[in-house]
Amino acid sequence: MSISARRFSPSCRPGCRPGALTAFRFVCPGFALLALALVLPPCTRAAEAAVPDGWKAAAPRDEIRPRLTYDPSGGLDGQGRLIIEADAREGLHGFWTRTFSVEGGQHYAFRVLRKAHGLPFERRNAVVRLLWQNAAGKPVLTDEPMVKGFLPGYTPRAEPEYPGETTLRPDGWTEVTATYRAPPQAAQAVVELHLQWAANARIEWTGAALTTTTPPAARLARLASVHYRPVGGKSPADNCREFAPLIADAARQRADLVVLPETLTFYGLRRPYADCAEPVPGPSTEYFGTLAREHNLYIVAGLLERDGALIYNVGALIGPDGKYIGKYRKVALPRGEVEGGIQPGHEYPVFETRFGKLGIMVCYDGFFPEVARQLSAQGAEVIAFPVWGCNPGLASARACENHVFVVSSTYTDVASNWITTAVLDRTGRTLVQAEKWGTVVVAEVDLNQRSLWPSLGDFRAELPHHRPVWAGEPAVRPSPAK
């Protein structure tokens, strides 16, 4: 796609009326000059402030170009504002762009602030893009590892970056940040600040900067899963106790998170669902809380919850301090659970942990894309997956399409060619898999390590801007600063 980019030419700031000139079209030149001086707004009589050096206004095509102006006041710490305004027409798309000099191999911190008005979906309408180029303005190659096994022979080009970490500041500005390592051949980075696909909308940008920084620290998480079927127990409490040595084994392997299977207080007891259900939090979460505190790790346990007359299939999260953190109520119910009187949930909580953001889905949820997508859309980096049985290809798809790690714990034997007890990476590939009953598998992952695809680049960073809007999706705002 060709891009039309040119330096901004002066025009009125908001409040000016270009139509004010119309009345003077047929008046003699001398009188017209006097009249213009008397009636036009100050922003027209005075010279428009020059756009800061290096910034240019651009659009994919002139016919969809919104109004791009610069206001020298009102930005961050007395800086000016780069403004993009869309009128009532659909499909307008414009951006401000500037080229920054960089040194190949150096790490850079990017930051810009924005204020948005009238955007239906900020994740799609307010986009920041960064392109790496050589001194001649051409794309460069990357030396970051690529996902292997696809597009053999593909030249590993540095694809566009999409800074996406946002924080809503107390002053009303949303801060967008990211840290990158410039590719070895890079000599410049082109920053683009977009408004796209939002009628009657406005974005103000200020404080854009690209500065050298130190490399970000690794964010390691040791993810563990238990491959076990409780046997011989006569009560839900008996089943819980059978997992104690396996949780201790996970702790010996320095696990941060250990995932247990689905409905573990029901398995093998030959009782109705309702007879095995309990309040959550309740006796089982209290028991697992003692183990979590003893071993300083997070536990996700599949339980049956009773809430009044309702029974839910849940995944409960207990923290390393032994306290119950929260639960996910299974949304997608197979026919056996429907026939057994279980109630579906309808919420998709994501939990902050010491290693990252954790979501939970349960068994049949894995057959449908919606649950994992809702969790990843709310920031989940890891999804715990207590699961009785599931198509393994779909479990891999849930990991890959959302670029999350999936930790599954199942009752299914590995010989069944069905779901396994495993840790899947962001590409859907198996990092570790249990082969024998009564074992624990652990994988160490770096949540700060990107997964780059040939042609796509950092797909996880692109997801918020490129995935479709779903019916009923709220216009989510960035999280407030803490």
Looking at residue 478, its pLDDT comes to: 53
Residue at which a domain ends, from 191, 212, 233? 212
Q: Are residues 305 and 433 both part of a single domain?
A: yes
The answer to whether position 454 is within a domain reads no
Query: 57 forms bridges with which residues in the sheet?
Result: 6, 96
Task: Please calculate the CA angle 357-360-366 and round it to the nearest 5 degrees.
Answer: 125
Which residue is catalytic, options 175, 330, 357, 381? 330
Calculated CA dihedral for residues 256, 258, 259, 261, nearest 10 degrees: 180
pTM given for the model: 0.87
The answer to whether position 18 is within a domain reads no
Residues 150 and 249: their CA atoms lie apart, in Å, by 37
User: Known catalytic residue: 262?
Assistant: yes
Q: Are residues 205 and 228 both part of a single domain?
A: no
CATH number at residue 353: 3.60.110.10
Q: Where are the alpha helices (DSSP H) in 131-253?
A: 236-242, 244-252
The answer to whether position 307 is within a domain reads yes
Residue 33: left if φ>0, alpha if ψ -120 to 50, beta else—which one? alpha
Q: Are residues 240 and 190 both part of a single domain?
A: no
* Per-residue pLDDT tens digits for 306-364: 999 999 999 999 999 999 999 999 999 999 999 999 999 999 999 999 999 999 999 99
> Alpha carbon of 44 to those of 13, 29, 37, 76: distances in Å?
9, 18, 9, 25
Looking at residue 304, its pLDDT comes to: 98
User: Known catalytic residue: 352?
Assistant: no
* Per-residue pLDDT tens digits for 170-193: 999 999 999 999 999 999 999 999
Q: Are residues 54 and 124 both part of a single domain?
A: yes
* SS3 annotation, 388-412: CCCCHHHHHHHHHHHCCEEEEEECC
Q: Are residues 302 and 403 both part of a single domain?
A: yes
- Residue 30: pLDDT over 50: no
Q: Are residues 280 and 148 both part of a single domain?
A: no
Q: Are 50 and 61 in contact (CB under 8 A)?
A: no
The answer to whether position 410 is within a domain reads yes
The number of domains in the chain is: 2
User: Known catalytic residue: 240?
Assistant: no
Q: Are residues 264 and 410 both part of a single domain?
A: yes
Looking at residue 418, its pLDDT comes to: 96
Query: 422 forms bridges with which residues in the sheet?
Result: 408, 433
Overall size of the chain counted in residues: 482
Q: Are residues 251 and 119 both part of a single domain?
A: no
- Residue 78: pLDDT over 90: no
Q: Are residues 197 and 261 both part of a single domain?
A: no
More confidently predicted of 33 and 163: 163
- Residue 245: pLDDT over 70: yes
Q: Give Cα 33 distance to the centre of its chain.
A: 56
CATH number at residue 189: 2.60.120.260
The answer to whether position 17 is within a domain reads no
The answer to whether position 312 is within a domain reads yes
* Per-residue pLDDT tens digits for 410-445: 999 999 999 999 999 999 999 999 999 999 999 999
Which residue is catalytic, options 43, 240, 276, 363? 363
The percent of residues in the chain predicted with pLDDT above 90, rounded, is 83
**What value does the mean pLDDT take over residues 54-64?**
97
Average pLDDT, the chain: 90
Q: Are residues 345 and 253 both part of a single domain?
A: yes
Residues 73 and 80: their CA atoms lie apart, in Å, by 5
Residues 151 and 274: their CA atoms lie apart, in Å, by 51
Residues 423 and 442: their CA atoms lie apart, in Å, by 8
Q: Are residues 286 and 390 both part of a single domain?
A: yes
Which residue is catalytic, options 262, 305, 381, 462? 262
The answer to whether position 458 is within a domain reads no
Identify the domain containing residue 340 by its residue range: 220-447
Instruction: Give the pair of three-digit tokens for residue 346.
Output: 């309808």
> Alpha carbon of 241 to those of 55, 228, 285, 457: distances in Å?
64, 12, 12, 46
CA atoms within 13 A on the CB side of 137: 2
Q: Are residues 366 and 388 both part of a single domain?
A: yes
The answer to whether position 474 is within a domain reads no
